[in-house]
Amino acid sequence: MPGAHVVLRVESDTPDDEDLRRAAELAAYFSKGRNSSAVEVDISQRKHVRRIPGGQPGLVTYKPERTLRVTPRGPEELEGL
């Protein structure tokens, strides 16, 4: 399903699993799956994300990726975690 792109900036090469989960929850919140109990979110390094030539704005392709299944949570729910 169409969704939001979230870029997670980290100081190390590998982001913390908890930070990845929170970023995925935020992406799910801003996707068309916002009202679902669980949403699958694909994760890939930014360097592997490519715009589709001639595609509509926001359409991208990426490889390799991994998928997390998360509950959508907005910024106010993630604040302070």
Tokens 């490889």, located at residue? 63
How far is residue 81's CA from residue 69's CA, in Å, rounded to a whole number? 19
Reported confidence tier of residue 17, pLDDT bands at 50, 70, 90: very high
Q: Is the dihedral of CA 8, 48, 33, 52 positive or negative?
A: positive
State pTM to two decimals: 0.84
Reported confidence tier of residue 77, pLDDT bands at 50, 70, 90: confident
More confident residue, 69 or 80: 69
| Residue boundaries of the structural domains of the chain | 17-78
How far is the first Cα of the chain from the last one, in angstroms, to the nearest whole number?
27
Tokens 């991994």, located at residue? 66
